[in-house]
Structure 1
Amino acid sequence: MSKKPFEQIVAEHANMVLRVCRAVVGQADAEDAWSETFLAALQAYPKLRAGANVQAWLVTTAHRKALDITRARVRDPVSTTTDVLVDQPTTTGLPEAPDHDLWAALKALPPRQRHTIAYRYLGGLPYKDIAEITGGTVEASRRAAADGVKTLRRIYAGHPHPRGDTR
Structure 2
Amino acid sequence: MIQRPAKNEYPDYYVPYLDLVPEGDLLQLLKENLQKTVSLFEGISEEVSLHRYAPGKWSIKEVLGHITDTERIMSYRLLRVGRGDQTPLAGFNENDYVEGAQINRLPMENILQDFTATRNATINLIQNIPTEAWANKGNANGMEITTRAIAYIIAGHQIHHCKIVEERYL
Q: TM over 0.5, yes or no?
A: no
- Which structure carries more strand by proportion? 2
Question: Looking at CA atoms only, which structure, 1 or 2, has the larger radius of gyration?
Answer: 1
Point out which structure has higher relative CO (alpha carbons under 8 A, 6+ apart): 2
TM-score (norm 1): 0.26
